[in-house]
């Protein structure tokens, strides 16, 4: 018998977006790069949940702002049904003691992309709006 999760979000290796303009706190304008989301978050097992965001800068020019952010503690996972879309929010603490908030939208429509609606790291990073990822790369439960 498998582990049951009443609310959560999981990503496959395809949860990847290229050439996204993101924002860094204290840096004017935007920086272009690739984003990879790796999430395994379940409300029933917060202590075992994981989240990683990898940003790889693609535009030239110093400084290179590429980074990897890892959650050290996921404090909240919520699921909400919005029409035929499942919205899962994940919040907690991570690299450098910073708090984060992320919102994932699993869209069952095979013609539409899934979305990472927002991803913010306090005092450091904001992806600056919804980022489409390939359909099926975000898998939600609990809606």
Residue 70 maps to a domain? yes
Residue 30 maps to a domain? yes
Domains held by the chain: number: 1
Residue 84 maps to a domain? yes
Residue 47 maps to a domain? yes
pLDDT digits (tens, 9 = 90+) for 68-109: 999 999 999 999 999 889 999 999 999 999 999 999 999 988
Residue 1 maps to a domain? no
Question: In angstroms, rounded to a whole number, what is the distance separating the alpha carbons of residues 21 and 13?
Answer: 21
Size of the chain in residues: 143
**Residue 79 belongs to what domain range?**
8-141
- Residue 95 and residue 117 in contact, taking contact as beta carbons nearer than 8 Å: no
Question: In angstroms, rounded to a whole number, what is the distance separating the alpha carbons of residues 80 and 103?
Answer: 11
> What does the mean pLDDT of the chain come to?
93
Residue 3 has a pLDDT of 65
Read off the pLDDT of each residue in 23-41 and give the average, rounded to a whole number: 96
pLDDT digits (tens, 9 = 90+) for 57-72: 999 878 999 999 999 9
């Amino acid at each position: 018998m498998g582990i049951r999760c009443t609310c959560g979000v999981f990503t496959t290796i395809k949860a990847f977006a290229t050439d996204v303009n993101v924002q860094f706190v204290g840096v004017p304008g935007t920086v272009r790069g690739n984003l990879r989301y790796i999430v395994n978050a379940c409300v029933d097992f917060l202590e075992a949940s994981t989240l990683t965001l990898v940003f790889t800068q693609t535009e030239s020019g110093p400084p290179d702002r590429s980074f990897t952010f890892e959650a050290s503690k996921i404090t909240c996972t919520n699921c909400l049904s919005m029409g035929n879309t499942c919205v899962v929010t994940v919040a907690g603490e991570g690299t450098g003691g910073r708090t984060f908030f992320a919102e994932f939208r699993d869209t069952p429509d095979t013609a539409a992309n899934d979305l990472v609606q927002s991803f913010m790291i306090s005092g450091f990073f904001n992806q600056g709006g919804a980022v489409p990822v390939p359909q099926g790369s975000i898998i939600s439960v609990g809606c």
